[in-house]
Chains A and B, each alone.
Chain A
Amino acid sequence: MQLPRFAQGSDPGPSFVDLLKHSGLSPFNAPDSEVEVPHGTTCLAMRFDGGVLIAGDRRATAGNLIRSRHMDKVVQADLHSGVAFSGAAGPSMEMIKLFQLQLEHYEKMEGRSLSLEGKANQLSAMIRENMPAAMQGLAVLPLFAGFEPADGSGHIWDFDVTGGRYEEREYVTIGSGGMHAGTVLKVGWRSTLDRGTAVTLACRALWEAAEADSATGRPDFLRGLYPIMATITADGWAAVPDAELETVFRGIEEEVRTR
């Protein structure tokens, strides 16, 4: 380990990405031609009374093959925010790792965390830098959800490959099954949703996405693998436990059986 030193004009400040670049470790590199890599699929986020919910299935696919059954596409970014991704799994996970570090680095350097909008903006800048790679098929398309303690409410964003950042008021879905999940949310979403009904609605959306989209994984009762789901409220990030998800999905299964 060596203490990095910078001249006055080239100091990267509290940005970890700039620090990496100044140290010759640029994290954004594009391949020369299109490459076939595992892809993540359906993720969603919605606002509910008191915060936001963020969820995603566990499947990663490479072409027509299932590459992983237990990928974590929904991760905590810091105490009050989380990020979920669809698209090329490798660059996505790398970007999320970098994003988590960026938030923590800023917090340690400045002694306080970024505002929620500041965090979304950081993510947007990273997506923009990844654009050359996105043009080669390595697109990273995350969604970002969090709670802003300053205004006491939850916020959700989705992005495009150019780094465009769109805040949504109700819900967002991304990935190959996103359209089907989005339809379920569109019908079921109310501004008065509480945590419990939001969890049920999210499960329903993921279920329908998995029914219609082969790249989206269903809850795997056999192996005990359920989607990753979490709520972010004033108290911070809280994962929805597997036991609760199992109960909800069993309920959905029963309802489908007796349709």
Chain B
Amino acid sequence: MSMPFYVPPEQLMKDRADFARKGIARGRALVALEHDGGIVIVAENPSTTLRKISEIYDRIAFAAVGKYNEFDQLRIGGVRAADMLGFRYSRRDVEARSLANQYAQAIGHEFTSGVKPLEVELLVAEVGDDREGDRLFHISFEGTVIDEDGFCVLGGDADLVSARLRENAPADGSLSAALKAAVAALAGPDRTLTSDDLEVACLVRADRRRRFERIEGAAVDLLLA
């Protein structure tokens, strides 16, 4: 009978974290920024059909980096959970905080007891009636939830992109300024990104039920001009 090798828990967790980090670092970064008119989320994504950013509920958006099949399963779970909650209680009872907690639990569980950790990082964003009410929940691959303030960066070069964004904050509270700052931070000094390379979506601070909106093609170029 063979005995399994003893692996200390510190080593096990470190190996799993390295594995997840490596998987996530392969993809491009994603930025979310609060502004006066809501929250804008920008991802580097040349595909127009395989989305990184999507609608979960009236005021709640989902964005992710990492392995597509893994985060799409989480997105579907989120839409289901939110729609069921809204159906059983009221639409107002659906909020980002509890959804973020659910994601954290699911991801945390996979990280510690799954066959392999999920190679994903998530953002659950909720637009409020004013900037005070905006929420950005950043959920990392091991299930940690961070309540971010003002902006949030996910993905491979997150530290670098965050530093650029801090240095080059939006000029004013407009959507256009926020988008310019986000795209400049994603691109860095050596590249320029156009609407073809980007996936852009907004949670709009407007008086209507469904606040999620995609901005595509010429509309993006117009805002970046």
Contact = CB atoms under 8 A, between A and B. Distances in A.
Q: Do A and B bind each other?
A: yes
A1 B55 CA distance: 17
A193 interface: no
A35 interface: no
Contacts, number: 54
Interface of A: 1-5, 16, 19-20, 23, 25, 97-98, 101, 104-105, 108-109, 111
A241 B221 CA distance: 37
Contacts of B101: 1
Contact of B77 (A5, A101, A111): A5
Contacts of B76: 109
A1 B106 CA distance: 12
Size class of B's contact patch? 20 to 34
Nearest to B95: A1
A111 B88 CA distance: 24
B99 A1 contact: yes
Contacts of B81: 1-4
29 contacts: A1-B85, A1-B94, A1-B98, A1-B99, A2-B81, A2-B102, A3-B74, A3-B77, A3-B81, A3-B103, A4-B77, A4-B80, A16-B83, A20-B84, A20-B87, A23-B84, A25-B87, A25-B88, A97-B87, A101-B86, A104-B83, A104-B210, A105-B79, A105-B83, A108-B54, A108-B55, A108-B79, A108-B83, A111-B49
Contacts of A109: 76, 79
Interface in B77-120: 77-88, 94, 98-99, 101-103, 105-106
A98 B55 CA distance: 19
A3 B102 contact: yes
Contacts of A97: 87
A82 B102 CA distance: 34
A106 B105 CA distance: 26
B51 A111 contact: yes
Contacts of A4: 77, 80-81, 84
B87 A3 contact: no
Contact of A3 (B54, B88, B106): B106
Q: Which 9 A-B pairs have the closest CB atoms?
A: A3-B77, A1-B98, A4-B80, A3-B102, A108-B79, A1-B81, A1-B85, A3-B81, A105-B83
B78 A3 contact: yes
B198 interface: no
Contact of B82 (A1, A25, A111): A1
B154 interface: no
B185 interface: no
B125 interface: no
A76 to B, nearest CB: 10
Contacts of A2: 81, 102
Given A97-B87, A101-B86, 4 more contacts: A1-B81, A1-B101, A19-B84, A105-B83
Nearest to B55: A108
A19 B80 contact: yes
B66 to A, nearest CB: 17
A97 B83 CA distance: 12
A130 B55 CA distance: 31
Nearest to B103: A3
B56 interface: yes
Contacts of A111: 49, 51, 54
